[in-house]
Amino acid sequence: MHRSRIGIVLIDHPGEHHDAALAFWAGAQGVRPVPDGPYSSVGEVGTLSLEVQRLEEGQPRIHLDIETDDIAAEVARLEGLGASVTERREGYVVMADPGGVVFCVVGIQTGDRFEEDAREWP
């Protein structure tokens, strides 16, 4: 048995547009951004954390993080639903849904929110 939930919506921007995008999304949410390395929290949408991420390379996009207490089990579950692994990184796995939309499977990052909202899977 393991648990998981969609926990974080990330708005990814390359470095040259990151600061303007961060200011925009913080303003749209009416909050002050809280920086943490390449990530900056800009509040929540319901029970989802909303963050702006500075990319080293790549195009702007929005992606979801599925947080779980067992990354391997969650990756296997999602592969069974039709997702595919695109890259295994230290501490998380990058996947794509059947249509090619990228998302990540990560460890627990939202603490109490995870405890309250995660679903249990066999």
What CATH number does the domain containing 89 carry?
3.10.180.10
The domain tally of the chain equals 1
One-letter amino acid of 109: Q
If pLDDT is split at 50, 70 and 90, which confidence band does 106 have? Answer: very high
Residue 111 Ramachandran class (φ > 0 left, ψ -120 to 50 alpha, else beta): left
Domain span at 35:
2-121
Average pLDDT over residues 32-49: 95
User: Tens digits of per-residue pLDDT, 9-18?
Assistant: 999 999 999 9
The label of the residue with tokens 């990354």 reads 71
Mean pLDDT of the chain, nearest integer: 96
Average pLDDT over residues 15-44: 96
